Structure 1
């Protein structure tokens, strides 16, 4: 059932949404609805996640980017703005390196063009060991909540539960494969430096995954960039600050598409 690996709604210029690690296209469902009034919005399940879990042998960012290209070709998308959350942003950077002619713009949504630090690589290895030993469900119990800023957790309990549910349904191979692929991804700051398209950065000031110093290190690199820093926001802006982040994307798209 290939159709269940993406959603495609609205008409007009195209926005393509890529989810993060241990997520699927469902994280964008409510978020992108208002955008469907003005744009064609497509959300994909990346290989190994959501309904796209049959026979994945390569979880690398490059391989995922190739999958995105194939899907967009099938959907008749010639050019788009790519919006990548977290790991989806890493995939977007790999896509931009290879298929920049297809991009009108790119949004790194709580994401980064920088590679993992040695410390982060070590943490990925420990996490892989933990998942191998204790399973996905146990991992999700501790993984999801810290992605949200402390003060947002109670009011967003239903979103945290949704994230845990999506994560727990993800095959163990996809979790460990995804972790290894993120660990091994390369530095793509050069892609930002040479980008012929505008780049939108959305950062949470309380995001442990993309700290402020890393954000500041790269947001000035593109020739044309828009940057949005959100206070009292962790790694999950689509849930923590849906109105503001959606407006930022809408404004970015309108700046590009006119």
Structure 2
């Protein structure tokens, strides 16, 4: 198996950062200086994205993507880690925790959810697949990225939006289609939260159109050690919309895990 593109920063206990759909590890770059003061940070581009664009697992599922993450950690001789997963990265982190529970020291769902897709969400995923096949990746990204940000701040954050669009537009069509199908078909992982013997953290945008606010209420009560942070006037991209608040949440979470 060809390893995912990855980088390590700092020394100490391991902190794994996993990005979202049509993103790359670059979304976390402004968190790295602070996080590396607390441990060894491992960033990687998930299969099909960024510099791992040609490394889509076969077949594509949250489990097979998590197995690719495990292969990187094996290569680095890392037994246990804290996982911080944004959106898709959260789904992959949950799959990792399901497959390798003894290897998890903490789990942060950063605008992510342990619920499976609703029937309505599955229909939306199917429409995405049809749309991107019809118009291509760049046109899809033009319509996909801006709504990830809170509407009232899109103009203010337009520089970030344009950078994300430019990077996301490089994603291969095969990755967009296959990973959308895999997200659509992923199972619920509420049992992972229930069984977690490590701290679990939720970072939640009150105006997130990708993960409904009310869908978190059941989840945040499940782990034995659970912390939830709610961000007002924030959509799905807290690392750009509320960078200082999110960094403080992450630092406190990492300290709790270690």
The question of a shared fold, defined as TM-score above 0.5 by the shorter chain, is answered with yes
- What's 2:12 paired with? 12
Task: Assess if the C-alpha contact under 8 Å between 2:4 and 2:68 holds in 1.
Answer: no
- What's 2:113 paired with? 112
Give the C-alpha shift of residue 217 in structure 1.
Answer: 1.9
Cα distance in 2, alignment partners of residues 82 and 226 from structure 1: 15
Cα distance in 2, alignment partners of residues 74 and 210 from structure 1: 34
- What's 1:126 paired with? 127
Give the C-alpha shift of residue 162 in structure 1.
Answer: 1.4
* Count of residue correspondences: 256
Cα distance in 2, alignment partners of residues 51 and 206 from structure 1: 31
- What's 2:241 paired with? 240
- What's 1:52 paired with? 52
Q: Against the structure 1 CA distance between its residues 71 and 3, is the aligned structure 2 distance closer, same or farther, given a 3 Å change threshold?
A: closer
**Structure 2 unmatched runs, 5+:** none
Give the C-alpha shift of residue 30 in structure 1.
Answer: 1.5
- What's 1:161 paired with? 162
Give the C-alpha shift of residue 171 in structure 1.
Answer: 0.2
| TM-score normalised over the length of structure 2 | 0.96
Cα distance in 2, alignment partners of residues 100 and 166 from structure 1: 33
Moved more, 46-55 or 20-29: 46-55
Q: Against the structure 1 CA distance between its residues 96 and 109, is the aligned structure 2 distance closer, same or farther, given a 3 Å change threshold?
A: same
- What's 2:181 paired with? 180
Give the C-alpha shift of residue 54 in structure 1.
Answer: 2.1
Give the C-alpha shift of residue 149 in structure 1.
Answer: 0.5
Cα distance in 2, alignment partners of residues 95 and 4 from structure 1: 15
Moved more, 86-95 or 71-80: 71-80
Task: Assess if the C-alpha contact under 8 Å between 2:4 and 2:69 holds in 1.
Answer: no
Give the C-alpha shift of residue 126 in structure 1.
Answer: 0.6
SS class of match (1:202): strand
Deviation track 1:41-72 (CA, whole Å, cap 9, x = no partner) reads 11111100111122523221000000000001
Task: Assess if the C-alpha contact under 8 Å between 1:59 and 1:174 holds in 2.
Answer: no
Structural mapping, 1:1-258, within 5 Å: 5-56=5-56, 57-257=58-258
Deviation track 1:1-28 (CA, whole Å, cap 9, x = no partner) reads x788112111122110000001011111
Task: Assess if the C-alpha contact under 8 Å between 2:6 and 2:44 holds in 1.
Answer: yes
SS class of match (2:78): coil
Give the C-alpha shift of residue 31 in structure 1.
Answer: 2.3
**Structure 1 unmatched runs, 5+:** none
Cα distance in 1, alignment partners of residues 234 and 103 from structure 2: 31
Moved more, 78-87 or 158-167: 158-167
Cα distance in 1, alignment partners of residues 185 and 100 from structure 2: 21
Q: CA RMSD in A?
A: 1.3
Moved more, 33-42 or 117-126: 33-42
Give the C-alpha shift of residue 198 in structure 1.
Answer: 1.1
Task: Assess if the C-alpha contact under 8 Å between 2:141 and 2:168 holds in 1.
Answer: yes
